[in-house]
Amino acid sequence: MSNDHGNNGGNGNGGNGGGNGDNGNGKKMRRSEHWFGGTSKDAFIHRSWMKNQGIPDDSFDGRPVIGICNTWSELTPCNGHFRQLAEKVKQGVLQAGGLPLEFPAMSLGESNMRPTAMLFRNLAAMEVEESIRAHPLDGVILLVGCDKTTPALLMGAASVNLPTLVLSGGPMLNGRYRGESIGSGTHVWKFSEAVRGGQMSQAEFMKAESCMSRSAGHCMTMGTASTMASMVEALGIALPENAAIPAVDARRHTLAQMAGRRIVEMIEENLRPSDILTRDAFENAMRINAAIGGSTNAVLHLLAIAGRVGVDLSLDDWDRAGREVPTILNLMPSGKYLMEDFYYAGGLPVILRRLGEAGMLKRDALTVTGQTAWENNRDAECFNEDVIKPLADPLVASGGIAVLTGNLAPLGAVIKPSAATPALMQHRGRAVVFENIEHYKARVDDPALDIDADSIMVLKNCGPKGYPGMAEVGNMGLPAKLLAQGVTDMVRISDARMSGTAYGTVILHVAPEAMAGGLLALVQDGDEIEVDVAGRGLHLHVSEDEIARRRAAWEAPKAPASGYAKLYFDHVLQADKGVDLDFLVGCRGDAVPRESH
């Protein structure tokens, strides 16, 4: 089947490399035929070296070549099963008559990478973009799992705009500890606070470690990995059910095969990311994020992905899109269940159907199936209404991400109300300031620290430039002496991010960040700060004269002197623009690079 979606390969200087020649049979040349077609010396070179892998002659007969971009790594445990998944994708590609060729991409694992995997998201995106463009590929499947691998690969592929399909690796099975379900990340924070507050022994804490991560897959709470797996399904760039099938469920392998088959058809249909990643698709994703109680990290990643395809998405869009949407998914950290339960309850198709029926979905948004979002999901069935709640009986009446602005965050800051304490959403308190994460660690449990439950904890220099890399440290643990008193939440403000598995009244992504000279840099102990989530305000109550005096005395912390960290530091955009590198924004297309032999 052939269906031209009217796209010639990007809105930059790219074009459809396959559209500018003929292959000798009067047919349009595929992009890959610029390498593998014909009888020239160059074609000899391209084919001959490939044949050392045992690829037969007729594999180069003009059939579509599919790149399988694999983020497998033993250092990224969430993606540790991707070799098997890639084999299933290959089977699907072969069944559909394509030639699958697997290639590696920089793998970004949250649990091991320092200072933070986010520092390298844009580096991986750049690597993926150039790898796709440089090679004889007609389309790509992106194998993604751990948090940053999803946005990194999609950002890179979107800047090339070849037919692209995202396949997530799937969540781990539920953690189980002493007969209870425990969630990735969420229970680490809970248990570690319990140890610090004296309610859990160190020995029990160590026992829980093996009980949490007990199968292949990524974090099984609605953390950033599950959120981003849901986002790609909601955007329509992944197949239906991509988000929730557990990594070890046989149906994940089936989905991988179906993805392999489908990408071959997408190439024939010339169905590209720019056809799918439209404003409507982003509207759907933002609303789905509200409905699932998704991670605040999705704000940054979707802004960055939108920037790659020329969709003008803003923080205001995030605030508006989510306001009317209730959170109906009862998953940790906002609720009680885990991703395995979500799949058995019907998965993301149920949420898409519910929003579609309520007029909250752009039903006509095109997806990788060639069908619309509504056509894909209109028949979804729910099998557990306590996991996926009806819209009339939601977990949180108004989900979504609230965007706060004011003198403390002129470009915006975000909070996830569904994870916060209602009583703290309107709060005025005295700042207790930590200049950086080391200062926080050294000071938070000092018995002499002048802090109480009404104080506002302020952390500086953890933003995009500050850490560098905008680490997930915004959900600072509370002082042990307050935990021991039974305090469970306090207002916390920073330019950092927060793990999607975390919770609390945590105001994040303050922009401009302290390191870039934002007002946050000038906050001092004892300053009055006012938080008004309903009114979307965030204000520092210090006189203009005093601010001017502090600014004159302020010195920017030292910037990285060399290496990738310097490139990143010099070019990274602030949180309100998605933390992409300024020179990577936009689509540069799939034009075939010039020959080198």
By CB under 6 A, name the binding residues for ligand FES: 78, 110-111, 146-147, 184, 218-219, 223, 225
Tokens of 128: 């993926």
Hey, which bits of 374-443 come out as E strands?
402-406, 409-415, 426-434
As measured in angstroms, the least distance from the Cβ of 388 to ligand FES is: 22
DSSP tally for the chain: helices H, then strands E: 20, 14
Give the number of other CB atoms < 10 A from CB of residue 198.
10
As measured in angstroms, the least distance from the Cβ of 223 to ligand FES is: 6
Is the CB of 146 or the CB of 476 nearer to ligand FES? 146
Phi, psi of 410 (to 5 degrees): -60, -30
Residues with Cβ < 8 Å from 436, sequence gap 6 or more? 459, 460, 461, 462, 466, 557
Q: How far from 247 is each of 4, 136, 188, 253, CA to CA, in Å?
A: 34, 30, 21, 8
Residues with Cβ < 8 Å from 272, sequence gap 6 or more? 5, 7, 9, 161, 162, 163, 164
Residues with Cβ < 8 Å from 38, sequence gap 6 or more? 23, 24
Is the CB of 186 or the CB of 284 nearer to ligand FES? 186
As measured in angstroms, the least distance from the Cβ of 83 to ligand FES is: 17
Q: Among 489, 480, 508, which Cα is nearest to 429's?
A: 489
Is the CB of 301 or the CB of 577 nearer to ligand FES? 301
Q: Among 477, 295, 434, 284, which Cα is nearest to 363's?
A: 284
What kind and span of H or E run contains 182?
Answer: strand 180-182
As measured in angstroms, the least distance from the Cβ of 183 to ligand FES is: 11
Is the CB of 313 or the CB of 502 nearer to ligand FES? 502
Is the CB of 150 or the CB of 327 nearer to ligand FES? 150
Distance CA 289, CA 274 (A): 21
Distance CA 82, CA 199 (A): 39
Is the CB of 110 or the CB of 319 nearer to ligand FES? 110
Give the number of other CB atoms < 10 A from CB of residue 554.
11
Is the CB of 302 or the CB of 538 nearer to ligand FES? 302
Q: How far from 258 is each of 233, 369, 446, 465, 561, CA to CA, in Å?
A: 15, 10, 56, 41, 47
As measured in angstroms, the least distance from the Cβ of 211 to ligand FES is: 16
Q: For 539, which DSSP code?
A: E
As measured in angstroms, the least distance from the Cβ of 191 to ligand FES is: 16
Is the CB of 214 or the CB of 279 nearer to ligand FES? 214
As measured in angstroms, the least distance from the Cβ of 298 to ligand FES is: 13
As measured in angstroms, the least distance from the Cβ of 175 to ligand FES is: 12
Is the CB of 221 or the CB of 367 nearer to ligand FES? 221
Please answer whether residues 145 and 71 qualify as being in contact, where contact means their C-beta atoms are separated by less than 8 angstroms.
yes
As measured in angstroms, the least distance from the Cβ of 188 to ligand FES is: 10
Question: Helices in 325-429 by DSSP H: which ranges?
Answer: 339-344, 348-357, 373-377
- Strand arrangement, sheet containing 65-70: 99-104, 65-70, 139-144, 164-168
Please answer whether residues 364 and 377 qualify as being in contact, where contact means their C-beta atoms are separated by less than 8 angstroms.
no
As measured in angstroms, the least distance from the Cβ of 106 to ligand FES is: 15
Please answer whether residues 364 and 421 qualify as being in contact, where contact means their C-beta atoms are separated by less than 8 angstroms.
no
Is the CB of 188 or the CB of 520 nearer to ligand FES? 188
As measured in angstroms, the least distance from the Cβ of 322 to ligand FES is: 23
Is the CB of 172 or the CB of 432 nearer to ligand FES? 172
Tokens of 246: 């557990």
Is the CB of 46 or the CB of 148 nearer to ligand FES? 148
Strands 409-415 and 99-104: unpaired
For tokens 């690829």, the residue is 55
As measured in angstroms, the least distance from the Cβ of 147 to ligand FES is: 5
Please answer whether residues 125 and 287 qualify as being in contact, where contact means their C-beta atoms are separated by less than 8 angstroms.
no
